[in-house]
Amino acid sequence: MKKLCREVWIEVNLDAIKRNIEAIQAHIPRKSKIMAVVKANAYGHGSVEVARQALESGATELAVASLEEGIVLRRAKIEAPILVLGFTPLDCVKRAAAWRIDLSGLREDWIVEANEILAEEESQRRLGIHVNVDTGMGRLGVRTKEELLGVVEALEKSENLRWDGIFTHFSTADEPDSDFTLLQHSIFIDFLRFLKKQGIKVPTVHMNNTAAAIAFPEFSADMIRLGIGLYGLYPSQYIESLDAVQLEPALSLKARIAFVKEMVTEPRTVSYGATYVAKPDEVIATIPIGYADGYSRALSNRGFMLFRGERMPIAGRVTMDMTMISLGEMKAKQGEEVVIYGRQKGGEISVDEIAEMLNTINYEVIATLSRRVPRFYRRGGKIIKISTPVMYV
């Protein structure tokens, strides 16, 4: 491998992905399958490699947020079923059928028009549809039994669409108060019973996300959608406190010191706005990562990085491409490793800690990691692949 010219990278432990799937599978009923959610570039981990590992580890299907994300997986020769969880415009249904990517069914008129559009094609391949039932998320899907029956009957009459699944999404399953989750569940089950009373055979049923799969494994039905748990993170502190499933974070963010500056004789300001003043004899190290990489500017003068296992504070404002840290009077050399998220010599900075510091959730911290940061994939302790948007020359 050629040396990185900008030494910042993400390491993804594929063995952790495998163990997380196994841990969840052991917790839910044996009959329940796992759909691995790899939207948003697999929550920043890299969708292609994570999808492959998830399928090798027991997942049977994949979920994405958009048709474009699904096409990325198909172009990588991934053949497993793929479902787009979000809305897809009618002028994209031909493309979805051509790439064999299932779509979410949200309205009767959309189903009717999609069928007519596909009737223009010579291909006999039918487009798979999963019907989305809105039981309280308030985002997408049918909300009444009449709407549901209209969608299902349109699907059953269709010659070009195939009804593959029906699902809902729990909005508060990660919270201690379970009342609303139980309400959503009862609404969904009532909808399913309504269909069966009409003599309609219901296909694959899925409702549990990571939080519900951990807190309510009995609701796992035919399949669960494993998102944040796939990556070894918990949806909330409450879900982690249940101590029902042991998950292992798969991602670390690392860099090498690009420059070392010793403030030998007098105080000097650091970074934009001169918000940090380094003392005499203080050592400032420049790290080649910034907010364009997904390292939040809100960590300016607040965050830490690990150097030789110890926490070193950020000095001044995080810039677009670089961040400075104070090493106190500790001597350092260019090229020494710094850990931004992860562990180093007994020290640890977790994604959850960073999320709390930023008043957000762990999902956002990892999902906003830029594609320009190379991903190093580890298995068995060895790097087996490097994915980078920049071609080496």
272 noted as active-site residue: yes
3-state class percentages of the chain: helix first, strand second, coil last, to nearest 5: 35, 25, 40
Distance CA 158, CA 266 (A): 78
Catalytically annotated residue among 272, 279, 345, 392: 272
Residue 228: both structure tokens together: 């944040």
Nearest to 187 by CA among 227, 235, 148: 148
Residue 203: both structure tokens together: 């296909």
Distance CA 286, CA 256 (A): 9
Catalytically annotated residue among 18, 39, 43, 254: 39
Nearest to 339 by CA among 360, 353, 320, 329: 353
Question: Are the C-beta atoms of 66 and 90 separated by less than 8 Å?
Answer: no
How many angstroms separate the Cα of 65 from the Cα of each of 48, 58, 141, 379? 14, 21, 15, 27
Neighbours of 311 (CB within 10 A): 13
Question: Are the C-beta atoms of 46 and 367 separated by less than 8 Å?
Answer: no
Give how far the C-alpha of residue 260 lies from the chain's centroid of Cα atoms, to the nearest Å: 35
Neighbours of 242 (CB within 10 A): 13
Residues in the chain: 393
DSSP state of 279: P
How many angstroms separate the Cα of 30 from the Cα of each of 58, 209, 217? 12, 17, 11
39 noted as active-site residue: yes
| Amino acid making up residue 224 | I
Distance CA 89, CA 92 (A): 6
- Strands 103-105 vs 259-263: parallel, antiparallel or unpaired: unpaired
Distance CA 41, CA 14 (A): 15
Residues marked active site are found at 39, 272
